[in-house]
Structure 1
Amino acid sequence: MCGIAGIVAAQGRPAPSAALGRRMIDVIRHRGPDDNGLHCDGQAVLGMSRLSIIDVAGGHQPAYAAQDRVCMVFNGEIYNFCELRRDFERQGARFRTRGEAEVILQAYLRHGADAIAMLDGMFAIAIRDQRSNELLLARDRFGEKPLYYAHGPFGLLFGSELKSLLQSPDCPRDIDPDALSAYLAYGYVPCPLSIFAGVSKLPPGHLLRYRNGGVELRRYWRPSLATRTALDAGEAGEKLVELLDRAVSSRLVSDVPFGAFLSGGLDSSTVVALMTRHLSRPVKTFSIGFKEAAFNELADARRVARHLGTEHHELVVEPDAVALLERLVWHFDEPFADSSAVPTFLVSQLARQHVKMALTGDGGDELFGGYDRYRRLLAMERLGPLRAPAGSTLHLAGAILPDPLGGRLQRIGERLRLPFRQRYLSAVALMRADTAAALNPAAGGPGHYRLPMLDAPGADLGAGGSALDRAVAMDLQSYLPDDILVKLDRMAMANSLEGRSPFLHPELAEFALSLPESLRVSGADTKVLLRRVASRWLPPPAISKPKQGFAVPLADWFRGPLLPLVADTLASRAFRERGLCDPKAARALLDDHVAGRGNRDQALWQVTCLELWARRFLDTTAQEEPSCCCA
């Protein structure tokens, strides 16, 4: 695992300096503290900071080919590189190292940009080809690894994290109002936007070519949501066992110690169960809990660990929430308000004391239909033409009844009256449109529940499919890459730990998406086929355990350890004058929450994270990582 960054100067512009390249890499040294390297030519600088996982001794980057006229840096892991290497050796290729970089370069030399579709892995790749004077950027299918870029008269900047681009004076720094509105809706900035206008995220499954001063984007992979497997339920179960086993075993290739995150839920427990089939020693597993019982899953994780015989490590934490939040804001680069980043950071910190790589269960909910919002959406769809009148009735009833029931009925009524896409996205959103509009008049409104990725022609991958397929397609294009995988990447990399997600193995993912709805969501049951298969390896409580999520006690924190921070933040002159949120509306949220008139914890978290981000990235240069004290 690594961090990459670089710049290609436009024709006629001065060559970028090595000093700028070093700054761009130094600021993300947490992503790769083991090694670093820099390439400089007359027009470009490419750099990387390396966390050594494969070919520890010989995997230095940048890597070169074609008499050093082709240079590459990449972040991630290629799980099928051994198979590709054997194919290329049969074709006459010779390799100097045991790592993946040479294999990627050989694929590029033979197939050009089409080589990217041959790779099974998580990656962000930059290839500078001086023969054609172009730069190729590529991002993996699901967006496991991040890649930002900015294009302008100066040329093209790119990097694994936004803070690398900010080292250049050419990087745009004006807030994108659409990105801010999206953040107030979802708690993250969806692809391809970034918080700064003029800086973009390369979408998952896409290539970017920079040549002759222009940028060309091309999608090289899209999930297939229209094809249905011809297998019956029994055959599909056996096929799923085979693919799960192959996916996990392929993610176990490593030259350093590794383990797994274990929550005790279905997805992470299934991954650990399959790991035990391939290892002669107990799997190292890691779990985090909080002292508040409602947010503590340690007993569930401990039960699975005992059942599978793992070497289990757990910790009940009482973090310094203020110091931890400052550190998380720095690592995310953009405003980010998924509060489960806190336990993700802490379990990564625990794991890094023992291992350098960990497997996770991320992706299982999207692929196998695990979210409760899928089940609720399908129930709404069964109302058919009755949705709109039912929505109006519920909204009126909610206006009469007291909270919390009245407010909940109003929210359901609002959703029932929305068009399909907005109806689903309203369940993904963290903040209601009226709350967002009160905080920022440019937010909220009719466009509150939208995704930029879906606005381009042909971008709606689920168009024409079932309601479940359409919802999953939206999650694969935004919630998974922009929230779930961002959280894993940044929090693991903050601790110089590599996280791998077996559920995102391409063949496994395609098969899961081909399952009929009844084998994913059926009535009140979710992950139907996955639960049936996993019952071979896991104790019954792990199979029947409701989805809890990696939650934190936010409501209590805003009445306790976070109250002084948020109160001082909302009262500060900087917050009042910045204009990102209306101070009176923000203060009303805090007053309601503290007085018990309603739970406003999520909106308060979004506002607090936004202002702390602004202080860090608008008011300072954000060069140094804040310290963190966690007990």
Structure 2
Amino acid sequence: MCGICGISHSDHRTPERTSLETMTRALVHRGPDSDGFYIAPGIGLGMRRLAIIDVEGGNQPIPNEDESLWIVFNGESHNFPDLFADLVKRGHEFRTRSDSECILHLYEEYGDECVHHLRGQAAFALWDANKKRLLLARDRMGKKPLYYAVQNGTLYFASELNALLKALPQKPEVNLEAIDLYLSLQYIPDPLTVYHGVHKLPPAHRLVWQNGVATPGCYWDFSYQPKHEQSEAALIEELRSLLKESVKMRLISEVPLGAHLSGGIDSSIIVALMAELSDAPVKTFSVGFEEESYSELEYARAVAQRYSTEHHEFILKYDDIPGTLEKISRHFGEPFGDASAIPLYYISKLTREHVTVVLNGDGGDEDFAGYQRYWLDPLANRYLRAPQFLTRGLIPSIAGFLPVSSDRPVGRSLVDGLKRLHQLPEIDARASILRWGSYFSPRQRAQLWKREFRFDADNAQRLLAEKFDSAEGSFLDKTLYTDLHTYLPGDLLVKTDRMGMAASIEPRSPFLDHKMVEWSARVPDLFKVRGRSGKYLLKKAFAGDLPESVLKHSKQGFGIPIGTWFRGPLHDWARELLTGSSAGLSEWFDTGAVENLLGEHRASRVNHGKRIYALTMLALWRQGIHV
């Protein structure tokens, strides 16, 4: 795992080494083991390396045999042993035994189609000196990031926004429309960033830079049709085989590895398979809270005990939070409102004390329909067929009088659920995550912005609805497709990458192997959602491998007691940050609306915990860019 960056001048000037060094210094946490540079007319490549494969010989940038091709690569191609053997048979000569060099020789064989041969996580830049041509590419699911910008005929790229901004000769303007999308989604969706003219390369995309023109394009997608027609027993056997293979591939490492164990179904299955495939005890890492209703440590311990893992735990307390949020904000480089980044940051720091590579359960919910909203959506659609005086009037009004509590995760609070019913008639059914999410509704966003800043109330809904409509299949198929193309790469994988890299560890996600994603998409709805539960097939396939308590435990997610903290010990800190004399958001937002939000939350009229968190992360980012 690494951090990569580069500069390419269309007039073939030689980039300055000092600019590349400035960029790589901003990426040290992604690669503390070494740095490297390649500088020639028209191109400058830089990288920071976290050594995982070919530790002694795999330093980058790496050239091909005649040094006409050069590459910097962030990620792991988990099928590289097979690729290496095939390329040697084809006559290619290797300087190293690294997966990075495999990509160079794949490019010699297949050109830009080399991306189809990679299986894993990747972001790379490949310079073809003969053609004066730069190829950027990102893995299918979006596990590894890549940002780019073009200014004055020059392309700049980097693994993180902060590194990219170090090299840009012109400071980009803040994109307020992107911030408005953030208020709805809790992240800024690709290809946008918080800055005008600075872009995320989307997942499954490559970009060619040649003759001063940047041309991005998609190279892969998957379909939910046709559905598998095998019996349940045959599907279970195939699922177990696919996931076991995916885990086995991700155990290839020359450095110590372990697993993040939340106590949920997905990470528990990964630990079970690791234990089956490993000769030594698996190292597992879990995080809990003083607030017991949020903590799933008892379930993580049950799995750890069953498989005799070398288990480590961390208890997160609120008094650690303010300083931590400033650090987290810097690592994201733009507003990012998923509060589960906090425990992931701490558990990643603990993990790095013992291992360098960590497997996780990311993607299980999106592959097999694990979120509650997947079975709630059909009920909501039926609810909306009731008379409007009920759905828009009476029921939301009654729910509004109910007091809320922050001592339970939002997904397990009936009152929180009832209070969201008012959103259902306002939000497009195709935007499932906005229906049930705890962030700003169109009405709340309009109240927040000052009069001179007005944006399309339906912008986030339209983005999700367009993705929904581009898929084939059932309502559930389309919702899963939307999540895998928006929420997963925009939120979950950003969080996993940045918090892992903040601690210099490499996360690996077996559920997000592209073969696993392609296969699970074609599993019929009946084997995903049954009654008030998701992941039917996954649970059935691994029922014998998990403790009964884990199987029966309802979906909780990586929730944290942020509502409790903002009602109590963090209230004054948040109020000063958001409404104090130096509050940076007062330029954009109505201070009265922010005060009202804080007041409603403290009085337990509405649980605004996640909204307050989103605003604090926006405010901390705004402070950071003015430092």
**TM-score, scaled to structure 2:** 0.94
In the other structure, the counterpart of 1:128 is 127
Once the two structures are superposed, residues 424-464 of structure 1 have per-residue CA deviations (whole angstroms, 9 ceiling, x without a partner) of: 53334622222211111546753153364875xxx657534
Give the aligned partner of residue 501 of structure 2.
493
- CA offsets 1:242-261 (integer angstroms, 9 cap, x no match): 00110100000000000000
Q: 2:278 maps to what in 1?
A: 279
Distance change in 2, residues 1:321/1:419 (3 Å):
closer
Q: How does 1:40-59 map to 2 (within 5 A)?
A: 40-59=39-58
- 1:586 maps to amino acid: V
Tell me the residue number matched to 1:509.
517
Give the counterpart of 2:538 among 509, 518, 530.
530
Aligned 8 A contact 1:433 1:448 in 2: no
The alpha-carbon deviation at position 399 of structure 1 amounts to 4.9
Structure 1 CA distance for aligned equivalents of residues 613 and 585 of structure 2: 20
Q: 1:137 Cα shift?
A: 0.6
Partner of 2:377: 377
RMSD of aligned Cα (Å): 2.0
Contact 1:33/1:50 (8 A) holds in 2: yes
Q: Distance in 1 between matches of 2:154 and 2:290?
A: 51
C-alpha contact (below 8 Å) 2:391/2:422 kept by paired residues: yes
Q: Offset of 1:227 from its aligned partner? A: 2.3
Question: What amino acid is aligned across from residue 562 of structure 1 in structure 2?
Answer: L
- The partner residue of 1:431 within 430, 435, 440 is 440
Q: CA deviation at 1:304?
A: 0.9
Report the CA distance between 1:409 and its aligned residue: 5.1
Q: Aligned residue for 2:7? A: 7
Partner of 2:259: 260
Q: Supply the distance in 2 between the matched residues of 1:436 and 1:141 (Cα, whole angstroms).
A: 33
Q: CA deviation at 1:177?
A: 2.2
Matching residue of 2:298: 299
| Amino acid in the other structure paired with 1:361 | G
- 1:569 equivalenced with 2:565 (yes/no): no
Alignment-mate amino acid for residue 393 of structure 1: L
Equivalent-residue separation in structure 1 for 2:85 and 2:416 (angstroms)? 61
C-alpha separation in 1, matches of 2:136 and 2:584? 40
Deviation at 1:392, TM superposition (A): 5.0
Alignment of 1:129-528 (within 5 A): 129-170=128-169, 172-318=171-317, 320-381=320-381, 383=382, 387-390=384-387, 393-401=390-398, 403=400, 405=402, 411-416=420-425, 418-422=427-431, 425-428=434-437, 430-441=439-450, 442=453, 446-450=457-461, 452=463, 462-528=470-536
**Which amino acid in the other structure matches residue 603 of structure 2?**
A
Q: Once the 2 structures are TM-superposed, how far is the Cα of residue 597 of structure 1 from its aligned partner? A: 2.8
Instruction: Answer whether contact 2:37 2:45 (CA < 8 A) is retained.
Output: yes
**Contact 1:360 1:500 survives alignment (8 Å):** yes
Q: Which residue in 1 is equivalent to 2:555?
A: 547
Match of 1:625 in 2: none
Q: 1:615 — aligned with what?
A: 623
SS in 2 for 1:227: coil
Secondary structure of the residue aligned to 1:396 is: helix
State the secondary structure of the residue aligned to 2:384.
helix
In 1, are the aligned partners of 2:9 and 2:15 still within 8 Å (CA)?
yes
The CA deviation at 1:418 is: 4.2
CA distance in structure 2 between the partners assigned to 1:198 and 1:300 by the alignment: 46
Alignment-derived partner of residue 63 in structure 1: 62
Shift of 1:109: 0.9
Deviation at 1:169? 3.5
Alpha carbons of structure 1 residues 553 and 417: separation in structure 2 relative to 1, 3 Å: closer
Which SS does the other structure have where 1:358 is aligned?
A: strand
CA contact (8 A) 2:143 2:494 kept: yes
Letter in 2 for 1:295: Y
Matched residue, 1:109: 108
In structure 2, how many angstroms separate the alpha carbons of the residues matched to 1:126 and 1:349? 29
Q: Distance in 2 between the 1:488 and 1:577 partners? A: 27
Alignment match, 1:628: none
1:506 maps to amino acid: H
Q: Which amino acid aligns with 1:421?
A: R
Q: Which amino acid aligns with 2:25?
A: D
Of 163-172 and 121-130, deviating more is 163-172
1:55/1:343 Cα in 2 relative to 1: closer, same or farther (>3 Å)?
Answer: same
Whole-Å Cα distance in 2 between the matches of residues 571 and 345 of structure 1? 27
* Whole-Å separation in 2 of the counterparts to 1:264 and 1:577: 38
SS of the equivalent of 1:421 reads coil
Measure, in 2, the Cα distance between the counterparts of 1:194 and 1:420: 26
Aligned-residue offset at 1:567: 1.9
Name the aligned partner's letter for residue 450 of structure 1: Q
Q: 1:407 to 1:73 in 2, by over 3 A?
A: closer
SS of residue paired to 1:551: coil
Counting matched residue pairs gives 612
Q: Distance in 2 between matches of 1:104 and 1:236?
A: 34
Q: CA deviation at 1:391?
A: 5.3
| SS of 1:331 mapped into structure 2 | helix
Paired with 2:418 and 2:391, the residues of 1 have a C-alpha distance of 6
The answer as to whether partners of 2:428 and 2:461 remain within 8 angstroms in 1 is no
Task: Decide whether the 8 Å contact of 1:6 with 1:45 is kept in 2.
Answer: yes
User: Does the 8 Å CA contact 1:436/1:444 hold for their aligned counterparts?
Assistant: no
Give, in whole Å, the separation in 2 of the partners of 1:241 and 1:31: 33
Q: Is the 8 A contact 2:4 2:73 kept in 1?
A: yes
Q: Indicate conservation of the 8 Å contact 1:134/1:211, yes or no.
A: yes
Aligned-residue offset at 1:393: 2.1
| Partner AA of 1:498 in structure 2 | E
Match of 1:584 among 582, 592, 598: 592
TM-score (norm 1): 0.93
SS in 1 for 2:545: coil
TM-superposition CA deviations, 1:95-143 (whole Å, max 9, x none): 2211111111100111111001110010101011111111111000100
Contact 1:143/1:485, CA 8 A, preserved across alignment:
yes
Structure-2 change in CA distance of 1:435 and 1:396 (3 Å): same
Distance 1:106 1:377 in 2: 48
Aligned pair partner of 1:557 in 555, 565, 572:
565
Deviations 1:248-278 (A, max 9, x none): 0000000000000001110000000000111
Tell whether the 8 Å contact from 1:398 to 1:408 is kept in structure 2 after alignment.
Answer: no
Answer whether contact 1:287 1:314 (CA < 8 A) is retained: yes
Amino acid at match of 1:609: M
Give secondary structure in 2 for the equivalent of 1:325. Answer: helix
- Segments of 5+ residues of structure 2 without an aligned counterpart are 403-414
- 1:299 and 1:81 mapped to 2: Cα distance? 38
How far is 1:94 from its partner?
A: 2.1
Three-state SS of the structure 2 residue aligned to 1:107 is helix
Q: Is the 8 A contact 1:398 1:407 kept in 2?
A: no
Task: Tell me which moved more, 493-502 or 554-563.
Answer: 554-563
Q: CA–CA distance in 1 between the matches of 2:20 and 2:36?
A: 10
Distance 1:390 1:504, change over 3 A: farther
